[in-house]
Structure 1
């Protein structure tokens, strides 16, 4: 039969011939058998680049183990190379690798590996199997064992290469030092796969990586290697090479103490005979029978323990009890030379918690659990059975680990956590400041300790010398009125028959707790180790006041300005003593429904409505108690007439010993003169306005009412500051909303017995405007500006703090009287608001988008570089230009590309609407923010021959312009919002047009109320012209937000849920159409 040629198939990894050429003959034969037995499986095939391939497989070994393989086939010019790794002891290119490769070749090629002649394959396998025990004339490796001369419990191995004779005997052979595992290239032919596995185990069991002539078989790996050696049939005792060693049945271990004369010796051996071997598990060697096997028996001793016992010295009889006690305590599994008295404890544990807490050093506090078994304490963790040395003998504690673990879980449900994850020490969860930690431990002892004890725990508190904890029995307050405009308030804490000032104790706590985050109970340090538990709810009524006025605490008392007497109303549930008149005043400030009606003097020539009479009553009440106030009625409800009636009462009562100074916008000078002449003709009025005012300074002391304007205050401050004023009245008081402005600073320094603010809009944009007016009226009432921002403005505007808003309303309500038209002027005719939207034309829309993109980029760069606060001017510039495009592109700076040809959709809308209104006989007020826009409208009005009058900041003859409209000479009044938005009474009008929206709704309302006010007898129609899809629509949305905030401050809303303008608002205003 011709020989098979490998040349044609060697390069093909799918051929069995190639595989056979890549491994040794033993691995090939055994692998082929494993393949035929179906032991191999291909798990995954990974194909890489350039023919690179990785096979993952598994193969069941001869002893039931399943090994895993990673086989790499690498392409090369000379043919593919096989690299097969396996987790069996051989490690690489083993029979398991061969079996997996054959299985893969079968699946891939469809060609049976049995393409070989079946008989030849069987004969080859049969003949090859004889090589494992050494065929006649073949060399094989023999394993010769002998007890170590150093340690008789250890077997040493030597290796002999020998040939088997025809009778099965072995020749003398030669000793060798195998190097296969160190250098696979030098692998001898006489080694089989089993030898490879055994040598790997032997090397793994050695302490050195260098082979010597003798190898120690110890431990678990030594046991495995010895068993494999015996299985080869080539393992002998050095003293008997005629009969190979056999694996015998398990024998019993003998481990006991025996007394010999006056000492105890440990007897360690094999009951059935044999020599003890230092293996894992321990084994025996029976030289006579040629057997090796494992040890068994009742006593299960570890290998290290057996070695230690084998070396046990003789123990004198007089020392045996002490030695036995030590052994039983530390190694209860080892037999002792003499019996030891033992007590067994088997019972349910009682959990015990030892709390070591000193409130003076709370950071050192901890809680340590243990478990009581009878009279024994056991710490968490450790062995399930503990042996302890007791006076009466040894105690053996059988622990219920499950019960202990369940008990430890209860600690966490009751507020404690293990320190560093360990269960022998527990602390309060989370980081806390010392005082917060102290209170947390006090609260735990007060609240959680009883619950834990109900759950079956014994809680032991480590006694702290001189530390006591009491419960508060009561809190009461005391008010004392000072001679000036201040009063003092103190609170006392009662406990155990003692009375202590409360403010110093609470003040200490508030330095460590954030408002709103107080624990349920406060533990106040009364000094000298005495602590008092006070429920937070009991002192909650005073906490807000203490927090807000923390800097005003003087020792045991709190100093408060007289207007703050209303705070007494917040102290519900706390008995207050002293200063009866102050307490009555506080109650009165809470309800003004029963104010005494003030009789008006005959010198007052007007007739007041009921709500106006109430306003005068309120003004007189405030004056009688030295309070200032803000009369904040809606525009047009008669704030001027109420003020004049109030001053007439002052004059008749003889209290007007000094003149009254009224500061108002320039546009309102003539209105004040006219109203005073009409309703209080007996009051001498002096107007300080214009250049001629200097000649009138010497008449100030003789006048009853002195009128001046905000712009003139800084100029005339020297004269005005020298005078004493009976009343200082600010009309349109929002003018002092900026406390740093010169006029605002002057009015704060004027000497006046009483102060009053008049405004229809006490707050236009933010709460600081309200603070500015109260700071003028009653300095310190709402704290300084920084305190006000911290306690009110920031929480309300930025965080929507409804509680702070309600508190601010309660404090300011007695001193702010606001009536709206819908509440007090039901007789007013209806007001109809009409929104007229218009889409920009194509060219105007393109111009708008061009300006928007340019300004958006500029604003973003400024905010990124400087922040929003320092980009205010840039933001306003961007919004201004966008609004100008919406109104009329001609408002843009000269030379703006495309502006003159863009056209104005809103301008066209106006002149579709306006001529029709005029033809209908409507009388129209037309407002705009831009005087230049009014100029463009004026030109078009002239072209259309429509009669009109105009009022701006440049108008010289204001009264003439106003009178032309009021007299009916003209039906159209062009008014700039700034010049004519306040103070004018134009009830002759029945139509209002807002050409361009402004984001402050109060400004628009004021302008509208020039027509819709007391005295109006016709329905009023309000038109708002808005460019669609532009910044003007966003302005309307912003108006709604500002109106909500204003309503909330005036008491209409419930919570401040929107902040003032911020980056998000700017983003929205500059958004694309």
Structure 2
């Protein structure tokens, strides 16, 4: 491998090629003046020369250089890259000097140079210039640098050490600093640059200041000895001067005199001739900073040298102390000069004039400040001025001011009234409190102080002086105007501020507040920046409704946006704009008022053929439904269970038919268990409505009748199966009962129901939200798509902040947005309108295995009963009939009540499923429930389901040993559900804590049921009681109820002379035929 070619040498020509002529000449002069302190080569090889250096600048600054020299590609030329800490930064004169120092010094000296001046020669040959001894091992030597330092006793002197070389001009270089610790290290080898006399000097300095710190203080006898030795070495210089070392001067007498400084008098010691500064050494010395002389002090015999050295410690004397000081001097130091007596004028009973100096920080207004002073005649004092009397010179006369401290304190309190507080770090400075206050609020307060407070103070006689910064103008907004422009299904809302007779668009001014706005936390006033650099002041009442509307409806404002485009569904916002003057949009405002004040809506009476009496709150509900229809709005009727959502809806549809607006059928979608309820209540209340039930296996054949119907009923599970037929038909109304069923927007039923054609949509539910806010969004998205945004936007804006972060503000915003379109009355709200007891029938069909089991039991029991009657006669077949009816009733309650051999494979219970839908809803509404069943085993099955649902309960049966304990659990509120067997708790109990009773299975004798109901509905009950009776459709349970209504025979048995058990049905041929006849499904 060939050996790499060597790098060309660094020469003068190479340096000249990388800098201009002027830089090279200045660098050469610096080198010749020995300003290069050191050059340290880091790397030197054929590929690179890399060294660092330090060079002294023109004003004794020390600059650091980094120099890299590299050959070019042909390895015949060189490039120099030099960085420096000087202001030039690179390729500067300091780099040139460092490069020249690296090159052989003889080559530089031999360069043509300007002729030396006589002054240069004279300086270099001046006596006392230290010459480096040639016989010493090192060319470096130690310089002693004397500097004045501030001490508690006034001016003192200390020594700093520097290691230097002799420059080409014969003078020492500035040198690099070394510390006392390194010079006196007892464990290391002494530095080679130390001379023999340096050791004696350093020993005396260590005695003078044993701290080992640098600089070393000169004091006492050792300091005096060290001073003499350093002068003898010829290497003691004053400060950074290296031309003339300090040398001995003639002794000078010391004299004491009084000098005036800032209105006070100070005793000073000085030499004659003047210029010498006394040093606290023994014997005392002086240093003359002009002549560089150090000499002894001639002290009068009647003065002590130690006392003289302490004169710099003496405090100044105020004019009011002059007389006392003169008297004291006459006693203790009669030889000292006395301060001249002055003519002092005393000023009393003068009111201070507050002076505020204003400093405005135009870049950050919150950093502005006010400085308070008090003017007494022409003398200005700060609030922190010591003492009750202040002395100063006014027009050459000493004035003694007797301060009015009460007046000064009154002025300070006046600033406090404006919210200004003192800055403890700066005397007399006042600013605004900032702890826990937003920058926006602080800026507003400063604008108010500068524009409103200062003029008020000026009117009160204060003087205001603007020291720096212009005061931004602050105008006051007189009114907020809201202009409404209506479109098709939307409206634009434009806000203006009225400022000094002109209108200014408001939205651009508040766009930056949107991200930080927190409802209820705005200050009373706020300053908004204008485009021209001024500000406008608005009140909280003016701005907060606007901000609230923006954050409720917009994530942000676009730059320059001056109006909000809103859906007509947001019309209620027009009523929430506070003091804003709303112009235009009269129809929208009228709709908004009616939407938010449903109690005042115009009553719309149902037609005469409506067979029902509406309670007051129900009539208001019908009025609200009619209002929604008028304005083509969707809504959620969310009354508590049992308050009549069904009858209100039917009355609403009856009105529509009478008015001729029901040109297409209304479609009601409900859970399967509610089909018979709707059908039954429609027959009861609106017999004139033509109702079609689209349910059951043969429903498809009835769809052709749909256009002629007034009302169609179907179920959620059938929506996907019948979507083709339903989507082909136009409907006047689409009403969802138990609307929370569409909570999953991706479910097939939810997707189909959104596509059905209907101009009017309603949701009926006692629980708009069962588990999470997404269920509420799904219902509103069905009613009015986009009203709450898309699903992801809703989750981001409302659901996540509310459910995960407990954001109360977001919850209030959501409530405010949905409330106008949701009518919810709880039983507590309408309690006065409710009767003492309301009975409600809830039925559910049986299907599948349960229906098949029921039919097989019915056939078997019918044959068994008829065979028994044929063999023994009706009177002797009583037990057989009751056993057959018992089995049918057990199948209706739950097939698991049958003996295991008859269960036919654990068929599910439709009634138990219905119960577990109703029960959680009732408990969520705050109801306290008594649940009765005659079957203790059934209560056990219910108990299992209740446990799975996490519902607390108590239980009372014939097997319960601690009856009172079970009752107390319910009475004391530890559980809101009590399971009771009919015989164990049907009589003798007082449970008025309950307000709801559920009869799981109908009993033959309604009096027995009434007695059970009366456990809650009795004297002492102060709440309406709701009684739910659960039955299965097209079963023996339904026929038992029909028999009760038709004949009332069971009640007659209770009060008559019949000896049969009143809890057993009267058995005759008609009853047998009715109970065991095959069922006809609808």
TM-score range, shorter chain: 0.3 to 0.5
Q: Structure 2-normalised TM-score?
A: 0.47
